[in-house]
Chains A and B, each alone.
Chain A
Amino acid sequence: MTIYKPELARINKIEKLTKTETFFDIELLSGKGLGHQPGQFVEVSIFGIGEAPISVSSAPSDLPTFQLCVRAIGNVTNALCSKKPGDKVGIRGPFGKGFELEYFKGKDILFVAGGLGLAPLRSLIWSVLNSRKDYGKVYILYGARRPQELLFREELKNWEERKDIEYHVTVDVWEENWQGHVGVITTLFPYIKFDLMKTQAVVVGPPIMYRFVIRELKNRRLPDENIWVSLERKMKCGLGKCGHCQINNIYVCQDGPVFNYKQIKDLPEAI
């Protein structure tokens, strides 16, 4: 056993969420749970193709299974998305630093998810919703490019109906039959009012989104240390060796991918 040897895992269930995103329910053959923290990631192997870092999309639980939401965009993810239930893949991890649930307890939480950013954020959202009474107010803002690109639609419906959270969704581009809000994600901010002292904002989305959302939060005077982000980078090893994910002296795979904004705001290459 070395740090580079993956464990075998079986794909239990596959569900196509959109044209490009697929949802996987996976279980290690050893039967051991993954034991992850929300926000952590795994390296998924397709033997003969390679490995890719993928955020875990499910909340930690007692179940032996965990879930991934994967966009078919590179060699590994395209191969992964063509797998069938029962097929095996390799897993290394979980890696990195995720969200410390204890820290968020008792606080109001504002989730801001852009596009595929909902995949990693979902692990934290459900961790919070699963023990809802441990947290203060919960806001979820979610934006996708087009209505047909919205992920986890059943769950979105649930969030919309729940009385114990405030949920807003938007799309950048209107399409026939879309009755909801249209506009980039920052256009949802006027709908919510949050308590600056009690709120932790957790922002996950494409690189460009961070700049606009963080500016919006700063305009409202939310302190830096109340803002959390998860950063995407190229990662080969997941263990702080291969060097690809380094931002100045920080290794995203070890020191992140989850960062407090205060920790990275002065790193010129981070956001």
Chain B
Amino acid sequence: MKNFVVGKGDFLDLIDRTVEDGKDVVAPVRQENQANFRRIKSTKEILWGGPQTVIPPKAFLFPQEEELVEYEVDGEIRIKATVEAKPVVLLGIHPCDINGTALLGKVFAEKNLDENYLKKREFVTIIGVECLIPCSPESFCYRKESILPWEGFDFFLTDMQDNFFVEVGSKKGESLILGVAKEATQSDVEKLKKIRRERDNLFNEKQRELKPKLGDLPKQLRENYDSPMWDERGARCFNCGSCNMVCPTCYCFDVRDCMELNLRQGNRSRFWDGCLLTDFTRVASGEIFREERGARLRHRTNRKDWYLFEKWGKSFCTGCGRCGKACLTKIVDPLDIENELWERKGQK
């Protein structure tokens, strides 16, 4: 794919025109003292270079509540599968979230195709933006090699003061930008390289260190399955599930039926669920198959940095830092956990 350069004003005009045409454009905006994704009416609302949004952009592909089936029970039963998707431009997506979304795409497209997710994905345009300063003290994307997107964006912007450097990731992205951008020159590419060198140095200096090697995380977790650390941290867990809700790669869901007041029409929807919640493994007989809080914390961590990491070749923690920020008792941060396991091993 080719690279382009676009004037900032020209790019913002393009987006404003898209909004005026009635298309949905979603971008991070400031809400209170936090960042959140919202449908924008003008590019003036966009929060550039802010902290990570409270809820990741997965909410637009895998909503907190999503209808799967609707039915009518009126003598006969009629069932209709629901697949809702409409075009949305997701703008200002950080690399950690582009990568998180790419990982979700893999699991929902594995074997039993989840059309509810895949159809939405087809209709979504992802415009990423490079982070040039760490977005928050909790983030550690640089340590998870997630400072740049691996795949799964339509185009990706890097701020070059007057211009954006535009890396195109799809045909859809190219056709969108083609009218307003010009092809990047060698000197633009050189300038980008310099920005990224400086960015690397800054992130390396500012972000907390990951002590074990990234590729060693599955092995470290395997070796520490029985570490007392899990119960020590677990003892402070409130079972609130916040870490699951804010994670760009947590995709577990509950399924519930809901009837209209007429008791004839109803639907079956899925809702975000979380493996840190007490009832996550509870069956009708009352048996809970993962009863210990420490075991639940271990399961979540292992899923990110072991089970799914080994299966897909990429850590399912992209270092966005949301869980560490959301956790009330500061037990869940995967970087903290990995470092603690590494340090304890050193002491033995």
Contacts and interface: CB of A to CB of B under 8 A. Distances in A.
Contact of A232 (B268, B283, B302): B283
A239 B252 contact: no
A221 interface: no
Contact of B275 (A2, A5, A50, A243): A243
Contacts of B287: 207, 232
A6 interface: yes
A187 B306 CA distance: 42
Interface in A1-23: 1-6, 8
Contact of B112 (A1, A5, A241): A241
A76 to B, nearest CB: 8
B241 interface: no
A243 to B, nearest CB: 3
Interface residues of A, number: 40
Nearest to B256: A50
Given A50-B256, A249-B311, A243 B115 contact: no
B123 interface: no
B116 A2 contact: yes
B21 interface: no
A2 B257 CA distance: 17
B114 A241 contact: yes
B283 A3 contact: no
Interface in B80-121: 80-81, 83, 107-108, 110-116
A242 B73 contact: no
Contacts of B202: none
Contact of B273 (A3, A244, A248): A244
A47 to B, nearest CB: 5
Given A4-B81, A207-B287, A248-B302, A242 B252 contact: yes
Interface in B291-345: 295, 299, 302-303, 306-307, 310-311
Please report whether the interface of chain A is mostly helix, strand, loop or mixed according to DSSP.
loop
Given A2-B68, A3-B113, A74-B284, A234 B253 contact: no
B1 to A, nearest CB: 31
Given A8-B77, A249-B310, A234 B111 contact: no
A249 B306 CA distance: 9
B112 A243 contact: no
A86 B225 CA distance: 51
Nearest to B281: A234
Instruction: Identify the interface centre among A4, A8, A77, A241: most chain B CB within 10 Å of its CB.
Output: A4
A151 interface: no
Contact of B79 (A3, A5, A75, A244): A5
A116 B129 CA distance: 56
Q: Which 10 A-B pairs have the closest CB atoms?
A: A74-B284, A243-B252, A249-B307, A5-B81, A4-B68, A239-B112, A2-B81, A48-B259, A236-B255, A73-B284
8 contacts: A2-B114, A6-B69, A45-B268, A50-B268, A240-B110, A241-B108, A244-B273, A249-B310
Given A2-B115, A236-B253, A241-B114, 14 more contacts: A2-B69, A8-B77, A45-B268, A48-B73, A50-B268, A77-B284, A239-B111, A240-B110, A243-B251, A243-B253, A246-B299, A249-B307, A254-B111, A269-B289
